[in-house]
Amino acid sequence: MKFTTSEWNGFKRLDFKFNDRDCILICPETPCEGKKWLYRTEYFGAFADMELVMLKNGYHLAYMQNTTRMCPECDTDMRPQFCEFLAREFGLNPKCALVGLSCGGMQAVYFTAKYPQYVACAYLDAPVMNYLSWPFALGVGQNDCSQEFIDNMGMGLSEMLNFRNHPIDQKEKLLKTGVPILLVSGDSDTIVPFCENGQLLYDYFKANGGNIDLIIKKGGDHHPHGLPDNAPVINFINNNY
């Protein structure tokens, strides 16, 4: 396999192609037992404080380019192959800990619901759960990115009004997987409002005995992702992986 080597925040970075997609693997100085790894589903490098701590603790960090952040099914179906490739080529754990921020959160939801055998746990930070809320901004949200969705997914508002495969529509499958979820959100999110997105997932899980924890950031908007002290996120991953 061909790859280029560089440095990322003091760690060894490998860039390579997998099925014609750009991929990144960040390697810890000393891998932890079980060669555990974080799978950042979108926005590699953004708000990465927690991931830097996990790298210091021996976790690997991986990313595979998506065709679009809107999560077409082809991207979801490529993820198991990526996990198997990393296990085969680098000896990484067959399961990952998902790190899904915003659009990456909905990508993590679709992946976990369809392929739970590859997921140890999922950290969802202000995840998109309802396309009508974002990118169509039909509720209280203020960030209309509908044209990007139309361009990339080929569906407009008329189709979306009858759409029944939103991220939140995966809730039954997601619940049945038993995969532990940590949900983090600001209560003043103006882009992906919690009341129209994450809260729908949390309320369903709590009503049905699902394995989910919630951290609400008082006064928090969509950015910055993460927590002032990421210890709860780190502990969640360590305790469930």
Confidence of residue 227 (pLDDT cuts 50, 70, 90): very high
Residue 79 one-letter amino acid: R
CA-closest candidate to residue 102, choices 77, 124, 73, 75: 124
Residue 185 has pLDDT above 80, yes or no: yes
Per residue in 63-107, pLDDT tens?
Answer: 999 999 999 999 999 999 999 999 999 999 999 999 999 999 999
Confidence of residue 117 (pLDDT cuts 50, 70, 90): very high
Query: Could you give the CA distance from residue 206 to residue 171 in angstroms, rounded to a whole number?
Result: 12
Mean pLDDT score, 26-31: 97
Question: How many CB atoms lie under 10 A from the CB of residue 188?
Answer: 13
Confidence of residue 1 (pLDDT cuts 50, 70, 90): confident
Domains of the chain from N-terminus onward: 3-240 (3.40.50.1820)
Per DSSP, the three-state class of 146 is helix
What is each CA distance from 58 to 25, 30, 84, 156, in whole angstroms? 13, 6, 20, 44
Confidence of residue 142 (pLDDT cuts 50, 70, 90): confident
Percent of the chain scoring above 70 in pLDDT:
100
Residue 226 one-letter amino acid: G
Per DSSP, the three-state class of 213 is strand
Kind and range of the H or E run holding 16: strand 11-18
Facing residues of 19 across strands? none
Q: Where are the beta strands (DSSP E) in 180-229?
A: 181-186, 212-217
**What global pTM score does this model have?**
0.96
Per DSSP, the three-state class of 196 is helix
Mean pLDDT score, 33-52: 97
Confidence of residue 29 (pLDDT cuts 50, 70, 90): very high
Residue 195 has pLDDT above 90, yes or no: yes
What is each CA distance from 214 to 187, 205, 210, 217, in whole angstroms? 12, 11, 12, 10
For 46, counting Cβ atoms within 10 Å of its Cβ (0-12 exposed, 13-18 middle, 19+ buried), the class is middle
Query: Could you give the CA distance from residue 181 to residue 211 in angstroms, rounded to a whole number?
Result: 6
Confidence of residue 176 (pLDDT cuts 50, 70, 90): very high
Please say whether the beta carbons of 134 and 192 come within 8 A: yes
Confidence of residue 148 (pLDDT cuts 50, 70, 90): very high
Facing residues of 99 across strands? 40, 123
Mean pLDDT score, 5-26: 97
Percent of the chain scoring above 90 in pLDDT:
95
Query: What's residue 48's pLDDT?
Result: 97
